[in-house]
Amino acid sequence: MNNQPVLDVSQLKTYFYLGENRVAKAVDNISFSIFPGETVALVGESGSGKSITALSIMQLINKPGRIVDGTITMNDQKLLELKPKQMTNIRGNDIAMIFQEPMTALNPVYTIGSQITEILRKHKKMNKKDAHQEAIELLKVVGIPRPKEILKEYPHQLSGGMRQRVMIAMAISCEPQLLIADEPTTALDVTIQAQILDLMAEMQKKFQMSLLLITHDLGVVYEYTDRVMVMYGGQIVEQAATKELLKLTKHPYTQGLLASLPNLDEDVERLGTIKGTVPPAYSFPHGCRFSSRCPYVMEKCTQSNPELREYDTGHFVRCYLYENGGSIK
């Protein structure tokens, strides 16, 4: 793998100013890199800041949210220093994004064709005819039957899976270096999920993209990704190669996530749960943000937030349990 990352996020902070002096630290000091051709998973419960991280990279944060600090570097270009106009050229062209709801992610009043050709004409400066040809090719690539007819159809005439394929076709139309997929299969049924994920993996190989896959499905993570970052409370709490992380899970939060998965080999009465819920982003507990729900909480944990430290090669954990060579279980 190439050493030069496609995307480098450093100390990114995205806060939401909710008024009454409440500040929701939705993304708080996150740093990570994505390398060419790599598939990275961003995992966490609802409200842990996954989507906000993705939207921050795209700079699509709406008020009252704001990127407070940090740098996002792509190909030696500091994205946060770009003018809004320059950023619209990056979006879709260098970084593309797929959303969770294929039902609403397409504009209902335009045909599929006009929505795909719109991007091609904007970013690739194609003329109408070429864009039309290219759109047919793209639909073929993402495995849509009868592409010529589908181009003339409206989003309401397609099924959810088809729409997500169209979204993928739109996302890859400009051969971006990085594709961000924000829970792309959550709204689809299980058989379609596998098809869409396979398609994305295939596209990734074909176009040599990097993929940032946001999900809370650890099965998907295991199947499709090289590296995992686990997010909790706007921070990365554990980061490692996928196989390593799932086998040698360190952070109590990640362990909790894994314990809550059904397992075919064991016969258990009840699935494991993590007690409590994610605290709202404006009132994290003092110290470690997971301390209010952690089964191994120590006095130290409520006093200061541990650093994200490398305990094994490439395995980063934000937890005091491992500080002096310690371990759990």
Binding residues for another protein, per CB under 8 A?
58, 60, 63, 85, 88-93, 96-97, 99-101, 104-111, 118-119, 122-123, 152-154, 157, 167, 170-171
Residue 46 CB, shortest distance to another protein, in Å, is 17
How many CA atoms does the CB half-sphere of 272 hold within 13 Å? Answer: 14
- The residue (of 13 and 122) whose beta carbon lies closer to another protein is 122
- The residue (of 60 and 261) whose beta carbon lies closer to another protein is 60
- The residue (of 28 and 183) whose beta carbon lies closer to another protein is 183
Residue 94 CB, shortest distance to another protein, in Å, is 10
Separation in Å, CA 317 to CA 176, 181, 236, 314: 31, 25, 8, 10
- The residue (of 120 and 245) whose beta carbon lies closer to another protein is 120
Helix/strand/coil (H/E/C) assignment for every residue in 78-94: EHHHCCHHHHHHHECCC
- The residue (of 101 and 226) whose beta carbon lies closer to another protein is 101
CB of 123 within 8 A of CB of 130? Answer: no
Residue 54 CB, shortest distance to another protein, in Å, is 10
Helices 112-123 and 160-172: crossing angle in degrees, nearest 10, is 10
Number of H helices, E strands in the chain: 10, 12
Question: In terms of Cα–Cα distance, which of 256, 220, 250 is closest to 237?
Answer: 250
DSSP single-letter state for residue 260: T
Query: Beta-strand (E) ranges in the chain?
Result: 7-19, 22-34, 39-43, 65-74, 77-78, 95-98, 178-182, 210-215, 227-232, 235-241, 309-312, 315-317
Residue 115 CB, shortest distance to another protein, in Å, is 9
Residue 20 CB, shortest distance to another protein, in Å, is 17
- The residue (of 101 and 244) whose beta carbon lies closer to another protein is 101
Query: What is the Cα–Cα distance from 19 to 232, expressed in whole angstroms?
Result: 24
Residue 42 CB, shortest distance to another protein, in Å, is 17
- The residue (of 13 and 91) whose beta carbon lies closer to another protein is 91
Residue 149 CB, shortest distance to another protein, in Å, is 8
Separation in Å, CA 242 to CA 48, 307, 329: 19, 21, 21
Query: What is the Cα–Cα distance from 128 to 118, expressed in whole angstroms?
Result: 9
